[in-house]
Amino acid sequence: MAHALISVLGTGVFAGALFAQLKPDSPSAAGVSPSQLERASGLIQSEVESGRLGAAAILVARHGRVVLHRGFGRLSPAPDAPPVSPDSVFLLASITKPVTACSLMLLVERGLVSLGDKVNQYLPDFTGGERDKVQVRDLLRHTSGLPDMLPENLDLRRAHAPLSEFVRHTYVTPLVFSPRSEFRYQSMGILLAAEIVERLSGTKLRDFEKKEIFDPLGMKDSSLGLGGRRISDLVSCATSPGADPADENRFGPNTLYWRDMGCPWGGMHSSTTDVAILLQTFLDGGVYAGKRVFSPATVIAMTSDQNVELRAPWGLGWALGRSRAWNAFGDLVSGGTFGHAGATGTMAWADPETKLLCVILTNRPYSVDDGRLLRLVSNAVAASVQ
């Protein structure tokens, strides 16, 4: 993947795509099968009609041409709830993680931090034992040894603890394995990456992302936290299987506490178009609509396998196609595909080989079917390239 991208960038063949902008077009113009796109839409529509899925939206684009963009269902279970539009705003859950990684990588570009630095060089309270071995890159490639969630996670949420309390507990929580000895998906490493961004920039992460990523790219529907919106205007999240109703009402995904907390591992709101813009920016080497936001070197680093020695493919923030750890993107994408999935029932990927991208946002928890619907739709979309 990295060598291929370097080659394309180096020859100038990529130059024509540097000014790409997502615009509606016909499937035939993009070399995509209309019948396959109908299959993808039909899979979602069937789930909505059956009552198994309350809300969804999908966007598919190739070479910057949007060939499918639809909304399904209603914003909430209320009988009079408005219908979901193609660009209704969803809680992304863990698709937030690569956006947090983007923020840290912008500071790497600016010479403010090195991926090989020890984390406690920036966060002095994160020290003692093998914490002293954890490098900044480990936070982004899930090799830090930190847990996915803190042992005190539920207690902190029940108490409506601020993010600073999660950070404080992460500084002292026991590592679950030696740094760089394993790959284990973890949210608390992303939390510390966000803390580094805030320390070095002197800015809250939500404000940093708005200024440095969302505004330059025209991602008008995106915010870490609510961004001043009302919860009632957003797509509601369905209840997770086995969830305690009291906990759902106190700190669940539809509460003001959780929606506006802005947790860097899962608190971003966005639409299909905005997520697609970010994916297209990475497909085009860090530029969207003539605006460079990320360097080609950053794009290569973030979308290349950083865990070769562990045989657990992952980039910096981005998950990669065919990862044994998390096969969210289906069976037909290339190994160089990058993207992410989220626990609220979201998934987004881009395939550099076919120049195809797909964003599926739903409000049914990923755990309901272990992401099966997202993979089935992805397969139909990936097979649409002619």
Q: 285-309: per-residue pLDDT in tens?
A: 999 999 999 999 999 999 999 999 9
Quick: pLDDT tens for 83-134.
999 999 999 999 999 999 999 999 999 999 999 999 999 999 999 999 999 9
- Go through the domains of the chain in sequence order and give each one's CATH number: 2-98+206-382 (3.40.710.10), 112-204 (1.20.58.710)
Structure tokens given for 98: 């690569």
Give Cα 295 distance to the centre of its chain: 19
How does pLDDT run across 53-90, given as a tens digit for each residue? 999 999 999 999 999 999 999 999 999 999 999 999 99
Helical ranges in the chain per DSSP H:
2-11, 34-50, 96-109, 136-141, 153-158, 163-172, 188-201, 205-209, 215-217, 245-251, 256-261, 272-283, 296-303, 372-382
Cα angle 372, 374, 380; round to 5:
105
Rounded mean pLDDT of the chain?
A: 93
Question: What's the rounded mean pLDDT across residues 31-50?
Answer: 98
* Of the candidates 27, 34, 58, the residue with the CA atom closest to the CA atom of residue 376: 58
How far apart are alpha carbons 363 and 344 in whole angstroms? 6
pLDDT at 325 (0 to 100): 54
The β-bridge partners of 107 are: none
113-117 LR contacts (CB < 8 Å, sep 24+): 113/196, 113/200, 115/140, 115/316
Q: What are phi and psi of 74, to 5 degrees?
A: -130, 160
pLDDT of residue 241: 82
Q: Residues 378, 329: contact at Cβ < 8 Å?
A: yes
Q: Residue 286 and residue 17: Cα distance in Å, rounded? A: 11
pLDDT for the residue 24: 97
End-to-end CA, the chain: 22
pLDDT per residue over 308-319, tens digit each?
A: 999 999 999 999
Contacts of 170 (CB under 8 A, 6+ apart): 126, 146, 150, 188, 191, 192
**Which long-range contacts link 161-164 to residues 24+ away (Cβ below 8 Å)?**
162/261, 163/191, 163/261, 163/262, 163/263, 163/264
Mean pLDDT of 323-350: 89
Per-residue pLDDT at 47: 98
**What is residue 72's three-state secondary structure?**
strand
Contact 329, 242 (CB under 8 A): no
pLDDT band at 19 (very low <50, low <70, confident <90, very high): low
Distance in angstroms (rounded) separating the CA atoms of residues 265 and 100? 8
Query: Average pLDDT of 258-287?
Result: 98
